[in-house]
A and B are shown apart, each in its own frame.
Chain A
Amino acid sequence: DARVTQTPRHKVTEMGQEVTMRCQPILGHNTVFWYRQTMMQGLELLAYFRNRAPLDDSGMPKDRFSAEMPDATLATLKIQPSEPRDSAVYFCASGQGSPEAFFGQGTRLTVV
């Protein structure tokens, strides 16, 4: 059963610490998305990649967030330094270049 895998599922960290979230897209998918979900803002697109190249990261705070795809099987989202307002559920999704996206289970981040 092909699925997007995200680790960790939960992360609690102190303000100022670096946080790295990882995503393994579905094998064969060439597009990876990072979304952030909060009660106030809903689902926000942070960044997306096609064939490992970043296509758009306009939704991402550039001063502290960075997203990379070191290889086709791994996408990372890093926050440094983390702040309490970064507390949210972060979703990775992958696709095959069509509008249809397949989401992982998310990483619930709490910054205290």
Chain B
Amino acid sequence: GQQLNQSPQSMFIQEGEDVSMNCTSSSIFNTWLWYKQDPGEGPVLLIALYKAGELTSNGRLTAQFGITRKDSFLNISASIPSDVGIYFCAGHPGGANAGKSTFGDGTTLTVKP
């Protein structure tokens, strides 16, 4: 089946630093999504990308849909303590499997004040 490789697995950064994480796949996806999960909560959708090459921002977050449709990147600028959490990428194939997103294993972000 489809698999996503999300990296890095974890990051420890200083408040104010920028963060980059990415997701790669051996398969093509028609949609890429990025979620954030806080402790004890469910994942919350941050950004959805629907077009290859698309670059979308949500506040300090910027995500890109790779031109090959096999990867996506998430950047966080000027990190703050509340950015702490687990960030998941998800790829959605569309077509007959329209309901099935495949999730990466997550990037755990720790921000030191």
Chain B nearest CB, measured from A83 CB (Å): 24
Contact A50:B43 (CB < 8 A) given known A42-B106, A43-B88, A99-B92: no
Flag if A48 contacts B42 (CB, 8 Å).
Answer: no
Q: How far is the CA of A75 from the CA of B43 in the complex (A)?
A: 19
Contact A97:B103 (CB < 8 A) given known A103-B42, A104-B42: no
Which residues does chain A contribute within 8 Å of B41, judged by CB atoms?
105-106
Q: Is the interface of A mostly helix, strand, loop or mixed?
A: strand
Flag if B42 contacts A105 (CB, 8 Å).
Answer: yes
Q: Residue of B at shortest CB range from A6?
A: B42
Q: Residue of B at shortest CB range from A95?
A: B99
Q: Is the interface of B mostly helix, strand, loop or mixed?
A: loop
26 contacts between A and B (CB under 8 A): A33-B99, A42-B104, A42-B105, A43-B103, A45-B100, A45-B101, A48-B100, A56-B99, A56-B100, A91-B42, A91-B43, A98-B48, A99-B33, A99-B48, A99-B90, A99-B98, A99-B101, A100-B45, A101-B33, A101-B45, A101-B101, A102-B45, A103-B44, A104-B42, A105-B41, A105-B42
Q: How far is the CA of A45 from the CA of B43 in the complex (A)?
A: 14
For chain B, the bracket of interface size reads 20 to 34
The one of A50, A103, A105 in contact with B99, judged by C-beta atoms closer than 8 angstroms, is: A50
Interfacial residues, chain B to chain A (CB-CB below 8 A) = 31, 33, 35, 40-45, 48, 88, 90, 92, 94, 98-101, 103-106
Which residues does chain B contribute within 8 Å of A56, judged by CB atoms?
99-100
**Number of cross-chain contacts by CB at 8 Å:** 48
Q: Residue of A at shortest CB range from B49?
A: A99
A112 within 8 A of B: no
Contact A93:B100 (CB < 8 A) given known A99-B31, A100-B48: no
A31 within 8 A of B: yes
Q: How far is the CA of A52 from the CA of B42 in the complex (A)?
A: 22
- What 7 A-B pairs have minimum CB-CB distances, sorted nearest first? A103-B42, A99-B92, A43-B103, A99-B31, A42-B105, A48-B99, A103-B43
